C-alpha cells in the first residue's frame, strides 16, 4: 500500500505525518480518516479550493485532473504546477509527499 507523507503544517499536523494510503482513495479522505482536519468547505464536491494541496513527490501517479478541477485550481491561493484539490486527487500506486498550504482562499479573504 502506498504511503502518504504529510509535511509539517503549523496548525493541522505540526510534526508531519506518515500514513498508509489505499490506492483509489482521495488524498482528502485519507487525511480526514487519519485525524488531519483539512478544510473542505464544499463537502468534497469540487466546488471550492479549501482542500488544495501541493504534491511534492508522486504527482504523476495520481489520476489526471479534469477540466472542472483545473478551473477551480486557478482560484487557489498559492497555486503551483503540482497543485491538486485533495478531494479529487486519487492515490495511485506510488508513495506521495504532500504539503498543505499555509493558507486557503477562505483564510486570505477573512483576514482582509
- Domain locations in the chain as residue ranges: 3-110
Which strands make up the sheet holding 17-20, listed edge to edge? 17-20, 3-6, 96-99, 52-57, 83-85
Instruction: Give the per-residue pLDDT at 106.
Output: 59
Q: What are phi and psi of 105, to 5 degrees?
A: -60, -30
User: How far is residue 96's CA from residue 17's CA, in Å, rounded to a whole number?
Assistant: 12
Which pLDDT score is estimated for 110?
Answer: 45
Say yes or no to pLDDT of 3 above 60. yes
Query: What integer pLDDT is reported at residue 103 of this predicted model?
Result: 78
Nearest to 1 by CA among 22, 26, 17, 18: 22
| 7-48 per-position pLDDT tens digit | 999 999 999 999 999 999 999 999 999 999 999 999 999 999
How would residue 111 be classed by pLDDT, with cut points 50, 70 and 90?
very low
Contact present, 69 and 84 (Cβ < 8 Å): yes
Q: What kind of fold does domain 3-110 have according to CATH?
A: Ubiquitin-like (UB roll) (3.10.20)
CA distance 59 to 69: 15
pLDDT at 108 over 50: no
What mean pLDDT, rounded, does the chain reach? 92
In the prediction, which pLDDT does 109 show? 42
Would you place residue 95 in the very low, low, confident or very high pLDDT band (cuts 50, 70, 90)? very high
Give the length of the chain: 112
What number is the average pLDDT over the span 75-81? 93
Amino acid at each position: 500500500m502506498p504511503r502518504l507523507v504529510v509535511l509539517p503544517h503549523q496548525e493541522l499536523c505540526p510534526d508531519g505525518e506518515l500514513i498508509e494510503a489505499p490506492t483509489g482513495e482521495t488524498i482528502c479522505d485519507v487525511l480526514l480518516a487519519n485525524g488531519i482536519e483539512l478544510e473542505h468547505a464544499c463537502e468534497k464536491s469540487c466546488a471550492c479550493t479549501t482542500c488544495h494541496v501541493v504534491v511534492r513527490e508522486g504527482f504523476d501517479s495520481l489520476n489526471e485532473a479534469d477540466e472542472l478541477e483545473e478551473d477551480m485550481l486557478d482560484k487557489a491561493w498559492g497555486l503551483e504546477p503540482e497543485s491538486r484539490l485533495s478531494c479529487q486527487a486519487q492515490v495511485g500506486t506510488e508513495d506521495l509527499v504532500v504539503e498543505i498550504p499555509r493558507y486557503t482562499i477562505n483564510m486570505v479573504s477573512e483576514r482582509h
